Each structure stands twice: as C-alpha cells, then as structure tokens.
Structure 1
Amino acid sequence: MVTITGRRRTLASQLLVLQLAIIVVVLVAVAAVSLAQSAATFDRVESRRVAALGEQLAVHPLLRDRLGRPAPAEAVAPLLQTVLTQAGVTTVTVADARGQVVSSTDPTLIGSPVVFGDPAVARGRSWVGELDVNGSRELVAQVPVLGDRAGNLGRYLGAVIIGEAAPTWSERLVGASSYLIGYLGLASALGVVGSWLLARRIKRQTLGLEPREIAGLAEHREALLHGIAEGVIALDPQLRVTLVNEVGRRLLDLPTHCLGRSLADLGVEGRLRDVLAGAGGDPDSRDDVVVRRGKVLVMNRMTVTKDGRRLGSVTTLRDRTELARLEREIGSFRSTTELLRAQAHEFANQLHTISGLIQIGEHDEVVRYVDALSRHRASLDLTVTSRIHDTAVAALLMAKSAQAAERRVELRVSERTGLDRLDPEASADVATVLGNLVDNALEAVTAPVGDAAGWVEVELRQDTSSVEIAVRDCGPGVAPELAQEVFAHGFTTKAARGGERGIGLALTRLVCKRRGGEIAVTNTDEGAMFTARMSITTPAAVA
C-alpha cells in the first residue's frame, strides 16, 4: 500500500502563517475596542450638544410666545427647520403641555403622544438618553419649555425634543476602515519580515533542521541513551547535569530528579568529580578507573565544542566490578604460574650445580650442598607453618617467597605473626588482601641489576574478631599528597611512583570494607607500610 502525503510546510511558512493569524486577531480586537470607544465618545459629546441645543430652543421667545396659543405649529415650524439645518441633527420636535406633538421636522410624529425618558420632564427637569424613534435608535434631549410672562411665569408650557440618530456598527466600521486597512498592511509587512528573520535565526540555532527533524532526532537520542548497556552523563560548562541515562544514574547512584543540578549539589566529590570535570589536566581522558560506592567504574570523557566554544562534556561509564573480580581470580592463577616458573628456574639452577659438582668428582660437596638446601627449605617451611596455621595463606606466602627470591628481594615473616585456620571464604579474602599488598611491595623494592637487594616484611595478627595485615617494604614510600587518595583513585604502589593507574589497591579496599574493616598507608623511616584490618570470626571447630 502506498501512502501519499502532502508536502509539509517549512518552519518559515509556519511562522508566517502564525504571525498573520496573530495580526488578524490583534486587529479584530483593536477594531472592537475602537468601535466601543467611538460609541462611548459619541454618547458623551453628542449628549452635551443636543442638550445645549434643546436648552437654547426652549428659551427662544417665539417658541415661548406661540406655544401657549392655539395652532402654534405654523409659527414655530420655520424655527424648527432652521435649527435642524444649522445643527445637523436628525429631528426637532415640540410638544404641548398635554404631551402631544404640535410641530416636528418629521411630519409623521405630529399629533402623536410623546414618550418621555423621565416623567420629571413635565415637572421642569431636562433629560438626555437613548430612545426608539420610528424604529431607529436616537440620542434624545428632552427640555421643558417654561412661561416667562405675567400669568404664566414658570408654568410648564411643553417640551422641546432634539434627536440625533446614532451611527450603526457598520457605519462606524466603514468610517474607521481607512486607518484599519493601513494598520493591517503595516502589521502584515512587519509580520512577514519578522517571521522571515525569526525563521533564519531559528534555522541557524537548529543547524538547518526542521521541527519534525528535531523531534525525530530527540526520539532517536532517547532510544539510543536508554538502549545501550553503558552509562552516559553529559555536563554543561558549569558542571550541571544536562543528560543522564538510567544506567548512568544507577552506576553513579544519582537521584531520579538530577537534571539541572550541579555535581556539588548531588554530592559528587573527590576522584569522581575530577574525572567528570576533566580536572586531571587532560580534558579527553580514556579508561579512568574510579571506585564509587563499592563499584569499580571505567570512565571515558570527551569535551564537546562548537565553533571554538565549549559546550560541556560527555562521559561514558562501564561497571567493571565483576570484571575486576575475574581479573583477580585470573591473577591468582598467573601468580601460581609465575611461582612454578620461578621454582622451576630455581630447581634447574640447583640441579646444574649438583651436576657440575658430580662431574668434577666433588661428591662430598654434593652432599653438603643438598643438606644446605634442605635445611633452608625446612627452615622457611617451619617459619611459615609454625606461625600461620591456615594452609591457603601459608601456601601463598611460600609462593610469594619464591617469587621474591627471583627478584632478589628478601621476604620476611615477622616474629609477631600469628594466624589460626579460617573458614574458606575468610581465608580467600585474607589471601586476596595479602597477595595484593605483597605484590605492590615487591614492585616498589625490586632492585635493578647491580643494586643491593631489598626486603619486604609481612606481619599477620589475629584476635577473636579481626585479622590485621601489615606489609612493610624498604621502597621509596608513597608521596604524602597521595597517601589519602591512593585507594579511592585505584593507584597501585607502582602507580604512586610512575603515575600509572590500576585497581589493585582499590579492590583491596573493597574487600576490607566488605569485611567491616579499612586499609591505610603510612611512611616509615625505611619505606612504606600498608595496614589492613578485617572482621574475621574463627570457626568454632578449629582449635
């Protein structure tokens, strides 16, 4: 089925039609007000004029003299016609004391009774108002005629009635049509020019898009924002939220009504605010790691500019918490692989030494060399296993010891160390924290070729409700300005030295917080010391 639709009007034509419609409505309103004002002006001005004409005629000597005599019409008719001609009124009428018309410029009224607008006219009071005269509406002035001679001085002789027909609405509209047409032409011209200029300005601001195209883009944008799995948040130059999708709001833990509010109003501070605001020096950052309320977020920020003007920024967010957990598990396998490689390398060197001694016939030396290796291994095993009764943690320390030896670093176990067996979940968390801290310490103290070997010391202390892990090293320490930020920012010890960013310490802090503890770093005279505390309950079955 083919649907045929008419050509849609452009923005300019729509604005023009709207402007013209507004102009017509305004002109109709102005015409109505003008006609109403014209009627009010006519009533006010003409009322005074007809009243003045009636009073002048009522005191005319001829009218006073003839009105009290028989057949006054022949004498006063010329006088009435003169007033009609000179004043330009519609009718001039004279009634006697009985209220009968005795003379009028309208012959049809002669002999008919007069309808007074106010009965007080017969008692000597004037009246001005509108009346129906022969089917037409007239503005009428009714003025009493009083006697001025002895015998009838002050006596009511009759009344003078001056009438002027009010112009109809059509007549008033025709009279005002000249300036109304001028107003309509001027307003139409202004409307056309104004709508054209307004359309051009709107076109520039909307990049040449028509309203239907803008609506389509808005619909597509909403569909894209709420259809992607990543979080998106847009900020203006004043760091106010202008756009955020549901995923971004959830990852950043923002309230439902957050649009238009600044980051400060939303309680976004620290590392997260620096990344969103581009405060790290690079406005377009890539793969920044931020820890936000237990979530590991990877953020990419891009600044939005147009014609050299900064409009704000758009940042995408990905939840890497689960991925970080998987990376941690893979890291444990990698550590095991490195341990096996290190041990294979160590055993290969020892076997080469033994083989060489046998080849040169130093059989007694072979025995002494093997005994020395056995005593060293037994001593290390005894040191670890006598103080650490949890097999998983002890095995981890043995593995880290071999890894440290390959890096020419001495791994020490403090004499104050003591750890009982733990339940599997607690043992895994302790091993995770200990492994991350030892790895960071090894990175900090690994000696270059030719330099003296470094050392790392591990101390584990346990009471009835918690485990404390302290890892010291002889490295360069942590810069004071990073000591309070290193965990929130996700830096590792290596990152603290070289500026690279990681999530090892951030994950360590997450594990500690999940266990109701905390982790901190301090600088000692010899290097850095990381101290982690976790709430751990020893199983009742373990002695």
Structure 2
Amino acid sequence: MRRGRLSLAGQAFVWQLVVLALMIGTGTVLAVLDTRRDHDAATELQVRDVALTVARAPSTLAAVNSPYPSGLLQPTTERIRADTGMDFIVVMATDRTRYTHTNPDLIGQPFIGSIDEALAGRTFTETFTGTLGPSIRAVSPVFDSGEVVALVSAGVTRDKIGAQVASQIPVILGVSAGGLALAALSSFLISRRLRRQTHGLAPDELRALYEHHDAVLHSVHEGLVVFGAGPGPAEVVNDQARTLLDLPEGPVRRTDLPVSMQQMSWGVVRDETHVTTDRILLVNQDVVSWEGKAIGTVLTIRDQTELRAVLGELDSVRSFAESLRSQAHEAANRLHTVVTMVELGRPEEAVAFATAELQLSQVLIDRLLADVGDAALAALLLGKVDQAAERGVTLAISEDTALDSADPLSAHEAVTLVGNLVDNAIDAAAGTVEKRVEVAVHHRDGDLLVRVADSGPGMSAQMFVRAAERGYTTKSDHAGLGLALVHRLVDRHGGAITTTAAPHSAVIVTIPLRETP
C-alpha cells in the first residue's frame, strides 16, 4: 500500500465531499435566510390585516368617541392580541396618546414610531424599535366621516419571529444532513467505481503511466493491438500495427484484421505466422488479467517479410548445396566405375557409361538456359529437378516452357511463385505410384502462365480455397505458408489461380502483363 498518497478515486472522494459540504452548507444558510424572509413577509401581511381589522371595526370608532376609550378598548384589543398572536395592539389618538397597550403602565403615554402616513389616511408597515424592542408593525387610520380620528398599530417583535425561525432550523439542518449523507454515499460509490477503473492509482502515477504508454506506443518497432473483454473496437492500436496490417485511421475492430487473424482464438498464441498481401507477420497473443479476471487480449506483431525472404534464399542455397553434394557423391561412384572399366581393358564401354548421364544433364541445362531468360528461375528449375530426383520423383520441364523474362514478376517473386508450387507438387507426387511432376512457364496472350501438374490426388475446390488462408496445410510437417504466399503474390499482381483434378492434378497461375504507359 502506498503511504502518504491518495489514489485518484480517494482524492476525488475527498474533493467531492468538500465541495458537497460547502454547497450544502451554503444551501442551509440560504434556506435559513429564506425562511426568515418568508416569516417577515408573512408577519407584515398578518400585522397589516390585524391593524386594518381593528381600525375598521365599528366598536373601535365608538370607543374612541366615548368619554372612556381605554376602558372600552383595552379588554378588546388584549383579547384580539391573544387570539391573533400579536405582541401588541395599540389604539392611540392622533396626538400619539395611547388608549391601549400590552403593558397597562404605558397607557396614556405617547406612541413611539412613525404615524405620518397613517395620519394622511394610508395604512403602512415598518420595522421599528419600540418599548418592546425591535418589531414589525403596521399602523392603520380610524375614520369618522372621512376624517382620521384615531390610529391602530399592531406588531410582532423580532424575538418572536426569531423563535419561529429557530423552531424550523432543526428541520432544515436535518434535511441538509440527510442530503449530505446521501451525497457522501453517492460520492463513495462513484469513488469505488473510479478506483476499480483506475486500479487504485494516484494521479501522478496515472500521468506517468500515460506518458510512458504514449512514448512506448510510438517508439516500439512491433505492432501492438489491445482489445478489451467485450466485442467493441480495440482500445490501443499503435502506428506500427496500422502500417503492418494496413489499417485505416479510426476505430479498429477484429473484423478489420486480416482474415487469418480474425479466426485466432482468444487465448494465448505463440509465434504464429500470418500472411497479408504484402507481408509475412509473426503474431503473439497474451490474455491480460486483473485480480483473476480476464480484461482483454494483447496482440504483438512483428514483420518477418525480409527474414522469410532471406530464409527462403538460404533454403535454396542449402538445396543447391545438398544437390551438389549428392551429385559429387554420385560422380565419385561413376568415376570409380569408369576407372575400373578402363583397368579391365574395356575403354569403349567406359566412355559410353561416362557420357550417357552427362549428355542428358547437359541437354536439360542447355535447353533451360536457352528457353528461360531469367537466370534465377532457370537455376531454380535445375535445382528442383535434382531435389525431386532425390525423393524418387521425376520433374519434367514441358516442351512449351519458354520466356525471355519473368515479367511482370521480379526474379524474387518468380522464384517464390514457382518454387512453392513445385515444392507442393513434389510433396503430393512423392506418395504416388507414378511420382511425376511437370512444370510449364511461358507467356501466352500477353499473360504470364505458370502450370505445375503432379501425379497426386489434387485438392477439392473447398480445400483449395482454404489453402489461401495462413496456416492451412494437408501435411503435418509443414507450416502451410506455401499456397498462402502464392495466393497473396497473385492477388497483388491482379492475377488468377485455379486448380484442376483431371486428367492430372494441376495448379494454374495467370498473371497479366503490366500495361505500357
């Protein structure tokens, strides 16, 4: 556990609590102020109504005009005060002399406060500090034949209003506390979810992780594609992966990957070879887990196109070397035979034996060098003849094989195309009785035509389609890349590849020549 460091979720939780506490505290204060304002407004309406009601009562006018106003008005106003919750109801003469008061000792003394508007015939309210302290009061005139003959003032002290507001504060605080508790719980649940999503990392750790992540993605020379556990688009696709897989900008789904990679399992994959139109790729896949739960897969992709090309050339060199070794061994045997025949006094037979095989080989060499203008392709065919012979297979070059160059293929592409087809044909023919392969390479009607037939059983249409996929093979000791490479090469040049099963199994490739600009 990290000490002195709050995770991003923890910091978010603390800051949310602080902000929520400030907001709810501010709201509570505003609610108290609003309650007090509402009470003030309600009190103003109440004291106004009471003052108007008393001032307009006929009994009030009658008492004012009587010889003893105080004796008639004091009991009545006190009863009304008690019934309405007023703190005082004062009836006074126009010269401010009080006829009534809550405190009987103040009867007869002058009223303290403004009365000018009431003397002018208007009812008004004000906040004033009188004998009972600060209060909200209303003053209303008493009319007699249109003349103001007395005034009525009714009021409620601020202390009483404050007590009413204070009685509601516990409710406001309770609601605020409940809101704070609910907000804290919500914040806690959000922080838990955020902690799971950020794996409990602190902000500086997340920043460092992002910076390193971004730097690594742009600097590594391997393609990297990261998929989540769901069916959605990839969460990470670096620049090299887009280049190697020829992916467009924007979200990448598994359906955007090459067909062979779409069919990969979701489990661990080690050093699996995949073929695209232009590249041979080595793919690894690992499952990413967190707390025992699989959260996605990581694909790493390496370009092995150049390495495979070098390995292919190395295989050709090894094949040639093995052929030379075999021929040297065979030549030594023949030389011993010739020497022995000479020693036995049979020189004519020795000469005939020595030149028979040489003539056949020389005829084939002379023919290929004359008819096949591409030296690499001619050398490949000569090497494959010896390679097939070692496996007991007869490799024949058809009579119509003739071409000045391998156009539109490069020498390397021509070797890849013909070499893979011939290798597959030799493998297929080796297990048959006839054990024969025939190769034809020539230009026809402006196209490059390559036909490789063998005595094998051939492939069905379904098998041939599957052979275009990476890794498909009918042989247990092969990686299944040969036909896949051929298909990609043919597609790249806009050509066509077909297969026949009768009268012999054959693969036919047709590649159109480039148009002359």
The alignment's TM-score, normalised by the length of structure 1, stands at 0.76
Q: Which residue of 2 aligns with 1:36?
A: 34
The higher-RCO structure (CA 8 Å, 6+ apart) is 2
Q: Does 1:437 align with 2:421?
A: yes
Q: Which residue of 1 aligns with 2:443?
A: 462
Q: Which residue of 2 aligns with 1:263?
A: 254
Structure 1 residue 285: Cα displacement: 1.7
Task: For residues 19-64 of structure 1, give each alpha carbon's deviation from its aligned partner in whole angstroms, at most 9, with x where no partner exists.
Answer: 2551342143134225414532553476246514641453152x31
Select 1:245's aligned residue among 238, 243, 246: 238
Distance 1:496 1:155, change over 3 A: same
Q: Does 1:498 align with 2:500?
A: no
Query: Is contact 1:518-1:532 (8 Å) kept?
Result: yes
> Which stretch shifts more, 188-197 or 224-233?
188-197
Query: Is contact 1:272-1:292 (8 Å) kept?
Result: no
Cα distance in 1 between the residues matched to 2:174 and 2:297:
53
Cα distance in 2 between the residues matched to 1:509 and 1:131:
99
Q: Which residue of 2 aligns with 1:489?
A: 470
Query: Is contact 1:385-1:394 (8 Å) kept?
Result: yes
Select 2:128's aligned residue among 120, 124, 133: 133
Q: What does 1:69-218 correspond to in 2, within 5 Å?
A: 76=73, 80=77, 83-84=80-81, 87-94=84-91, 101-103=96-98, 105=101, 107-109=109-111, 113-116=115-118, 121=121, 130-133=125-128, 139-147=136-144, 157-165=149-157, 174-179=166-171, 209-218=201-210
Q: Does 1:231 align with 2:223?
A: yes
> Which stretch shifts more, 315-324 or 247-256?
247-256
Query: Is contact 2:48-2:139 (8 Å) kept?
Result: no
> Which stretch shifts more, 373-382 or 172-181?
172-181
Task: For residues 125-179 of structure 1, give each alpha carbon's deviation from its aligned partner in whole angstroms, at most 9, with x where no partner exists.
Answer: xx5x6424359985544555355xxxx5x87644433233456997666444444
Cα distance in 2 between the residues matched to 1:538 and 1:109:
117
Select 2:279's aligned residue among 295, 305, 308: 295
Q: What does 1:475-486 correspond to in 2, within 5 Å?
A: 475-478=456-459, 480-486=461-467
Q: Which residue of 1 aligns with 2:396?
A: 412
One-letter amino acid of the counterpart of residue 484, structure 1: V
Distance 1:286 1:86, change over 3 A: closer
Cα distance in 2 between the residues matched to 1:345 and 1:130:
131
Q: Which structure 1 residue ranges, 5 or more long, are not aligned?
A: 1-5
Query: Is contact 1:132-1:138 (8 Å) kept?
Result: yes
Structure 1 residue 321: Cα displacement: 2.0
The alignment's TM-score, normalised by the length of structure 2, stands at 0.79
Cα distance in 1 between the residues matched to 2:307 and 2:113:
114
Query: Is contact 2:408-2:514 (8 Å) kept?
Result: no
Structure 1 residue 273: Cα displacement: 1.1
Structure 1 residue 299: Cα displacement: 0.5
Q: Which residue of 1 aligns with 2:64?
A: 67
Query: Is contact 1:294-1:510 (8 Å) kept?
Result: yes
Structure 1 residue 313: Cα displacement: 1.3
Distance 1:100 1:392, change over 3 A: same
Q: Which structure 2 residue ranges, 5 or more long, are not aligned?
A: none
Q: Does 1:531 align with 2:508?
A: yes
One-letter amino acid of the counterpart of residue 229, structure 2: P
Q: Which residue of 2 aligns with 1:326?
A: 310
Query: Is contact 2:224-2:301 (8 Å) kept?
Result: yes
Q: Which residue of 2 aligns with 1:344?
A: 328
Q: Which residue of 2 aligns with 1:520?
A: 497
One-letter amino acid of the counterpart of residue 274, structure 2: V
One-letter amino acid of the counterpart of residue 337, structure 2: T
Cα distance in 2 between the residues matched to 1:162 and 1:484:
104
| SS of corresponding position for 1:328 | helix
Query: Is contact 2:280-2:308 (8 Å) kept?
Result: yes
Cα distance in 1 between the residues matched to 2:408 and 2:250:
44
Distance 1:538 1:474, change over 3 A: farther
Q: What does 1:378-417 correspond to in 2, within 5 Å?
A: 378-381=362-365, 383-385=367-369, 387-417=371-401
State the Cα RMSD in Å.
4.2
Q: Which residue of 2 aligns with 1:364?
A: 348
| SS of corresponding position for 2:299 | strand
Distance 1:444 1:169, change over 3 A: farther
> Which stretch shifts more, 212-221 or 458-467?
212-221
Query: Is contact 1:302-1:314 (8 Å) kept?
Result: yes
Query: Is contact 1:421-1:538 (8 Å) kept?
Result: no
Structure 1 residue 297: Cα displacement: 1.5
Cα distance in 1 between the residues matched to 2:273 and 2:77:
107
Cα distance in 1 between the residues matched to 2:454 and 2:325:
24
